[in-house]
Structure 1
Amino acid sequence: MTLDSNKCRAFYNGKSYPCHVSMAMDLVGGRWKTVILYYLKDGEKRFSELKKTIPDITEMTLSLQLKQLEKDGLIYRTAYGIKPPIKVIYTMTTVGYSFVSVLDAISAWAEKLVPNQDCDDL
Protein backbone atom coordinates (compact mmCIF):
# COMPACT_ATOMS: atom_id res chain seq x y z
CA MET A 1 0.00 0.00 0.00
CA THR A 2 1.21 3.48 -0.80
CA LEU A 3 -0.13 6.93 -0.06
CA ASP A 4 0.07 9.76 -2.56
CA SER A 5 0.67 12.77 -0.31
CA ASN A 6 -0.22 15.28 -3.05
CA LYS A 7 -3.73 13.92 -3.50
CA CYS A 8 -4.01 12.02 -0.19
CA ARG A 9 -5.08 8.81 -1.92
CA ALA A 10 -4.33 5.25 -0.84
CA PHE A 11 -3.31 2.61 -3.40
CA TYR A 12 -3.59 -1.13 -2.73
CA ASN A 13 -3.67 -4.12 -5.10
CA GLY A 14 -3.92 -1.87 -8.13
CA LYS A 15 -6.89 0.08 -6.76
CA SER A 16 -7.01 3.73 -5.77
CA TYR A 17 -8.94 4.92 -2.72
CA PRO A 18 -9.72 8.46 -1.49
CA CYS A 19 -8.49 7.53 2.02
CA HIS A 20 -7.31 4.64 4.18
CA VAL A 21 -10.76 4.10 5.71
CA SER A 22 -12.37 3.57 2.29
CA MET A 23 -9.61 1.10 1.44
CA ALA A 24 -10.14 -0.82 4.70
CA MET A 25 -13.91 -0.91 4.23
CA ASP A 26 -13.48 -2.21 0.68
CA LEU A 27 -11.29 -5.03 2.00
CA VAL A 28 -13.32 -6.07 5.08
CA GLY A 29 -16.61 -4.19 4.85
CA GLY A 30 -20.03 -5.63 4.27
CA ARG A 31 -22.09 -8.06 6.26
CA TRP A 32 -19.94 -11.20 6.00
CA LYS A 33 -16.24 -10.57 5.32
CA THR A 34 -15.38 -9.65 8.89
CA VAL A 35 -17.42 -12.57 10.22
CA ILE A 36 -15.56 -14.99 7.92
CA LEU A 37 -12.21 -13.57 9.02
CA TYR A 38 -13.28 -13.85 12.67
CA TYR A 39 -13.83 -17.59 12.28
CA LEU A 40 -10.61 -18.07 10.29
CA LYS A 41 -8.43 -16.28 12.87
CA ASP A 42 -8.14 -19.42 15.01
CA GLY A 43 -7.01 -21.63 12.15
CA GLU A 44 -7.83 -23.17 8.81
CA LYS A 45 -11.38 -24.11 7.87
CA ARG A 46 -13.07 -25.97 5.06
CA PHE A 47 -15.99 -24.41 3.20
CA SER A 48 -18.46 -26.73 4.94
CA GLU A 49 -17.05 -25.81 8.38
CA LEU A 50 -17.51 -22.11 7.63
CA LYS A 51 -21.05 -22.74 6.38
CA LYS A 52 -21.93 -24.62 9.59
CA THR A 53 -20.37 -21.91 11.73
CA ILE A 54 -22.22 -19.12 9.88
CA PRO A 55 -25.62 -20.72 9.15
CA ASP A 56 -27.31 -17.45 8.06
CA ILE A 57 -25.00 -17.01 5.06
CA THR A 58 -25.99 -18.63 1.77
CA GLU A 59 -23.52 -20.91 0.00
CA MET A 60 -23.40 -18.53 -2.95
CA THR A 61 -22.63 -15.52 -0.74
CA LEU A 62 -20.01 -17.46 1.22
CA SER A 63 -18.35 -18.54 -2.01
CA LEU A 64 -18.35 -14.98 -3.41
CA GLN A 65 -17.00 -13.49 -0.18
CA LEU A 66 -14.24 -16.10 0.06
CA LYS A 67 -13.22 -15.37 -3.55
CA GLN A 68 -13.11 -11.63 -2.82
CA LEU A 69 -11.09 -12.10 0.38
CA GLU A 70 -8.65 -14.31 -1.56
CA LYS A 71 -8.41 -11.79 -4.41
CA ASP A 72 -7.70 -8.99 -1.92
CA GLY A 73 -4.94 -11.04 -0.27
CA LEU A 74 -6.56 -11.62 3.13
CA ILE A 75 -6.96 -15.40 2.82
CA TYR A 76 -5.38 -18.33 1.01
CA ARG A 77 -7.36 -21.04 -0.73
CA THR A 78 -5.57 -24.37 -0.93
CA ALA A 79 -7.15 -27.12 -3.02
CA TYR A 80 -6.10 -30.74 -2.68
CA GLY A 81 -6.82 -33.15 -5.50
CA ILE A 82 -7.91 -32.35 -9.02
CA LYS A 83 -11.25 -31.54 -10.62
CA PRO A 84 -13.30 -31.50 -8.55
CA PRO A 85 -10.96 -30.81 -5.63
CA ILE A 86 -11.13 -33.46 -2.92
CA LYS A 87 -10.57 -30.90 -0.19
CA VAL A 88 -10.32 -27.08 -0.08
CA ILE A 89 -8.87 -25.29 2.94
CA TYR A 90 -9.08 -21.57 3.72
CA THR A 91 -6.49 -19.85 5.92
CA MET A 92 -5.58 -16.27 6.68
CA THR A 93 -2.60 -14.63 5.02
CA THR A 94 -0.16 -12.36 6.82
CA VAL A 95 -2.34 -9.42 5.75
CA GLY A 96 -5.39 -11.23 7.12
CA TYR A 97 -3.66 -11.94 10.42
CA SER A 98 -2.72 -8.26 10.69
CA PHE A 99 -6.48 -7.61 11.03
CA VAL A 100 -6.89 -9.92 14.07
CA SER A 101 -6.30 -7.12 16.59
CA VAL A 102 -9.15 -5.20 14.96
CA LEU A 103 -11.38 -8.29 15.11
CA ASP A 104 -10.56 -8.71 18.80
CA ALA A 105 -11.36 -5.03 19.44
CA ILE A 106 -14.71 -5.34 17.62
CA SER A 107 -15.53 -8.47 19.61
CA ALA A 108 -14.64 -6.79 22.93
CA TRP A 109 -16.72 -3.74 22.01
CA ALA A 110 -19.73 -5.92 21.13
CA GLU A 111 -19.39 -7.86 24.40
CA LYS A 112 -19.59 -4.56 26.30
CA LEU A 113 -22.82 -3.72 24.51
CA VAL A 114 -24.40 -7.03 25.46
CA PRO A 115 -22.77 -8.14 28.73
CA ASN A 116 -23.37 -11.62 30.13
CA GLN A 117 -24.70 -12.91 26.80
CA ASP A 118 -24.36 -16.67 26.50
CA CYS A 119 -23.87 -17.31 22.81
CA ASP A 120 -24.41 -21.06 23.22
CA ASP A 121 -28.05 -20.43 24.19
CA LEU A 122 -28.88 -18.47 21.01
Structure 2
Amino acid sequence: MNWYLTVLKKYAVFRGRARRREYWFFVLFNVLIAIALALVDTSMGTFDPETGTGLLGALYSLAVLIPTLAVAVRRLHDTDRSGWWLLLLLIPIVGVIVLLVFMALSGQHGANEYGGDPRQSDSADQAQAF
Protein backbone atom coordinates (compact mmCIF):
# COMPACT_ATOMS: atom_id res chain seq x y z
CA MET A 1 0.00 0.00 0.00
CA ASN A 2 2.97 2.29 0.66
CA TRP A 3 4.00 2.17 -3.02
CA TYR A 4 0.49 3.21 -4.08
CA LEU A 5 0.51 6.18 -1.70
CA THR A 6 4.02 7.16 -2.80
CA VAL A 7 2.82 7.50 -6.39
CA LEU A 8 -0.18 9.57 -5.29
CA LYS A 9 2.11 11.87 -3.28
CA LYS A 10 4.10 12.45 -6.47
CA TYR A 11 0.81 13.29 -8.22
CA ALA A 12 2.21 15.15 -11.24
CA VAL A 13 5.96 14.53 -10.98
CA PHE A 14 7.13 13.54 -14.45
CA ARG A 15 10.85 13.83 -13.78
CA GLY A 16 13.03 11.33 -11.99
CA ARG A 17 12.87 7.57 -11.97
CA ALA A 18 10.50 4.89 -10.62
CA ARG A 19 11.47 1.36 -9.71
CA ARG A 20 9.60 -1.64 -11.09
CA ARG A 21 8.17 -2.27 -7.65
CA GLU A 22 6.70 1.23 -7.43
CA TYR A 23 5.11 0.98 -10.88
CA TRP A 24 3.72 -2.55 -10.62
CA PHE A 25 2.32 -2.16 -7.09
CA PHE A 26 0.55 0.99 -8.28
CA VAL A 27 -0.89 -0.96 -11.22
CA LEU A 28 -1.93 -3.83 -8.92
CA PHE A 29 -3.76 -1.54 -6.49
CA ASN A 30 -5.44 0.28 -9.38
CA VAL A 31 -6.77 -3.00 -10.74
CA LEU A 32 -8.02 -4.11 -7.31
CA ILE A 33 -9.72 -0.76 -6.69
CA ALA A 34 -11.26 -0.81 -10.18
CA ILE A 35 -12.71 -4.29 -9.55
CA ALA A 36 -14.12 -3.21 -6.17
CA LEU A 37 -15.65 -0.08 -7.69
CA ALA A 38 -17.15 -2.12 -10.54
CA LEU A 39 -18.84 -4.35 -7.96
CA VAL A 40 -20.17 -1.32 -6.10
CA ASP A 41 -21.33 0.27 -9.36
CA THR A 42 -23.10 -2.97 -10.31
CA SER A 43 -24.87 -3.20 -6.96
CA MET A 44 -25.92 0.47 -7.16
CA GLY A 45 -27.12 0.09 -10.74
CA THR A 46 -24.69 2.67 -12.14
CA PHE A 47 -22.64 0.14 -14.18
CA ASP A 48 -23.18 0.21 -17.94
CA PRO A 49 -22.28 -3.16 -19.50
CA GLU A 50 -22.05 -1.67 -23.00
CA THR A 51 -19.24 0.71 -22.06
CA GLY A 52 -17.83 -1.52 -19.32
CA THR A 53 -17.70 1.30 -16.78
CA GLY A 54 -19.74 2.74 -13.99
CA LEU A 55 -20.01 6.13 -12.35
CA LEU A 56 -17.58 5.47 -9.48
CA GLY A 57 -15.13 3.62 -11.72
CA ALA A 58 -15.09 6.46 -14.23
CA LEU A 59 -14.54 9.07 -11.51
CA TYR A 60 -11.70 7.02 -10.02
CA SER A 61 -10.07 6.54 -13.43
CA LEU A 62 -10.23 10.25 -14.05
CA ALA A 63 -8.74 10.98 -10.62
CA VAL A 64 -5.71 8.70 -11.13
CA LEU A 65 -5.09 9.52 -14.80
CA ILE A 66 -2.27 12.01 -14.15
CA PRO A 67 -0.52 9.90 -11.46
CA THR A 68 -0.71 6.89 -13.79
CA LEU A 69 0.92 8.81 -16.63
CA ALA A 70 3.53 10.28 -14.27
CA VAL A 71 4.61 6.93 -12.80
CA ALA A 72 4.72 5.40 -16.30
CA VAL A 73 7.00 8.20 -17.50
CA ARG A 74 9.24 7.80 -14.44
CA ARG A 75 9.34 4.03 -15.06
CA LEU A 76 10.46 4.63 -18.65
CA HIS A 77 13.09 7.04 -17.33
CA ASP A 78 14.43 4.23 -15.13
CA THR A 79 15.00 2.15 -18.27
CA ASP A 80 16.76 5.18 -19.83
CA ARG A 81 13.91 5.96 -22.23
CA SER A 82 12.01 9.17 -22.80
CA GLY A 83 8.44 9.49 -21.60
CA TRP A 84 7.43 10.05 -25.21
CA TRP A 85 7.59 6.26 -25.62
CA LEU A 86 4.11 6.23 -24.03
CA LEU A 87 2.80 7.29 -27.42
CA LEU A 88 3.28 3.65 -28.44
CA LEU A 89 -0.09 3.10 -26.75
CA LEU A 90 -1.62 4.65 -29.87
CA ILE A 91 -0.49 1.61 -31.88
CA PRO A 92 -3.01 -1.19 -31.29
CA ILE A 93 -1.71 -4.41 -29.70
CA VAL A 94 1.97 -4.03 -30.70
CA GLY A 95 2.39 -0.76 -28.79
CA VAL A 96 0.92 -2.23 -25.62
CA ILE A 97 3.15 -5.31 -25.84
CA VAL A 98 6.29 -3.23 -26.38
CA LEU A 99 5.43 -0.98 -23.41
CA LEU A 100 4.75 -4.00 -21.19
CA VAL A 101 8.23 -5.29 -22.03
CA PHE A 102 9.76 -1.87 -21.28
CA MET A 103 7.95 -1.67 -17.94
CA ALA A 104 9.10 -5.20 -17.00
CA LEU A 105 12.77 -4.59 -17.82
CA SER A 106 15.20 -3.89 -15.03
CA GLY A 107 16.15 -0.26 -14.60
CA GLN A 108 19.54 1.08 -15.55
CA HIS A 109 22.12 0.68 -12.78
CA GLY A 110 23.61 3.92 -11.55
CA ALA A 111 22.63 7.42 -12.58
CA ASN A 112 21.34 8.27 -16.04
CA GLU A 113 20.17 11.51 -17.64
CA TYR A 114 16.88 11.32 -15.72
CA GLY A 115 18.35 11.06 -12.23
CA GLY A 116 20.05 8.81 -9.73
CA ASP A 117 19.39 5.11 -9.28
CA PRO A 118 16.23 4.75 -7.14
CA ARG A 119 17.49 1.43 -5.75
CA GLN A 120 20.50 3.17 -4.23
CA SER A 121 18.35 5.89 -2.65
CA ASP A 122 16.06 3.20 -1.17
CA SER A 123 19.10 1.43 0.31
CA ALA A 124 20.27 4.73 1.87
CA ASP A 125 16.80 5.32 3.33
CA GLN A 126 16.79 1.84 4.89
CA ALA A 127 20.27 2.34 6.33
CA GLN A 128 19.14 5.58 7.99
CA ALA A 129 16.17 3.76 9.52
CA PHE A 130 18.55 1.54 11.51
TM-score between both structures, scaled by the size of structure 2: 0.31
Higher-RCO chain (CA-CA 8 Å, sequence separation at least 6): 2
TM-score between both structures, scaled by the size of structure 1: 0.33
Greater fraction helix: 2
